[in-house]
Amino acid sequence: MNSAFLTAFGARRAQESSAGRRVRSVLVAHPSPELYGSDRVLLESVKALVAGGIVVTVALPSAGPLMQKIEASGATVAICPTPVLRKSILKPRGFALFVVQSAKGMSAGLRLMRSCNPDVVYVNTVTIPLWSVLARLSGKPVLTHVHEAEGSAPRALKFLLAAPLLLSTSIIANSKYSASVLTSAVRRLSVRTAVVYNGVPGPPCPDTPRTELTQPVRLLYVGRLSWRKGVDVAISALSVVNRQSVKASLSIVGGVFPGYEWYESELRQHVEDLGLEEAVTFHGFAPDIWPCIARADIVLVPSRLDEPFGNTAVEALLAARPVIVSDTSGLREAAGNYPSAQMVPPGDAAALAGAIERVIDDWASYRDHAQSDAVKAFDRHSSESYGARIRAELRSVVR
């Protein structure tokens, strides 16, 4: 056999091997059809994969606003029932319900897996471990994207969330804090975990902050309405500020999880008790948050408990708005090293009010810093660099 043939044969084998490593199709599993933090990051991931010439199918548990965004990006949506891990699984009734839902979801998931026949299964969040099981049963590699960091949760719950990731070929964590919580629960996961900060697209047409901070000063909260997010702390801080001869208002953009409507009722009662009916507006969920931020002067992220990252803080920075965040967990990574961002103790309404007053008193400086910080935030969280990292991690899974 001559050397020319051997060279050609070797080149052909190398070419086939390289082609075999190329990701052509991906099945993405996600637990929510809404448009909050991890949902928006999922959309960025899907756009990155489609931009890389990959055929993408996204499994969602039901229709919702995220579905239309995904389809507009060029991906396909498949509605597939998926059991979601929640704290209730630690109780006998909750565990039994999870087992029943898993049995139903398994058959539907396997059918979707066979019809898609993906090169990789991309599981977005740790709350839907069934998809990792289905992928392994189908002989497919698994990339899991972690958006959770329950650092203050009971050890049993942290292990319950982390253990299924042993089925993952590779793991992406959205912050160093998320990675540390994960690996503290299951040490073996550290060798397969990479940190990729969220891609957060900026506003299409950024509005500069007001030159003169005339009253009322416009405060903004964006996100889920829940106790852990500290929405009531923001309301209490507004009351403190307004007692200091400064007139301010607070816009609350977001809704509760289904079944938690009682919490919104409590918030409204809190507003009434403080006499702030004219100063606080509940806007409900908004699919496009940029007009809301454009109308604001200062953005508040007053979370009481650990946050894996802080998309809302980054969005405020991208929109050139001073932001005040709780000094905890992933929020430090999201808003740290930005002069226009302040950090205050979680759950401390007086400290939050003091930070608001500092921005008001030195508005010119905070305004200038916010405009410079917008450029830094864009460089750190651009869709292009995020997309490149996601595609690189995906390729590594099939090597």
Give me 181's structure tokens. 């919580």
Give me 319's structure tokens. 């929109």
Ranges in the chain annotated CATH 3.40.50.2000? 23-199+382-397, 217-380
The pLDDT tens digits of the residues spanning 272-313 come to: 999 999 999 999 999 899 999 999 999 999 999 989 999 999
- May I ask the CATH architecture of the domain 23-199+382-397? 3-Layer(aba) Sandwich (3.40)
**Residue whose tokens read 């890389």:** 52
* DSSP assignment of 168-226: -SEEEESSHHHHHHHHHH-GGGGGGEEE-PPP----SSPPPPPSS-PSSEEEEEES---
The answer, yes or no, to whether residue 14 has pLDDT greater than 60, is no
The answer, yes or no, to whether residue 18 has pLDDT greater than 50, is no
Count of all residues that appear for the chain in the document: 399
Sequence letter at residue 355: A
Q: Which helix H or strand E contains 160, and what residues bound it?
A: helix 155-162
- CB-based burial of residue 361 (10 Å sphere; 0-12 exposed, 13-18 middle, 19+ buried)? exposed
The answer, yes or no, to whether residue 235 has pLDDT greater than 90, is yes
* CATH code for the structural domain at 217-380: 3.40.50.2000
Average pLDDT over residues 163-183: 95
Confidence class of residue 156 from pLDDT cuts 50, 70 and 90?
A: confident
* Mean of all residue pLDDT scores within the chain: 90
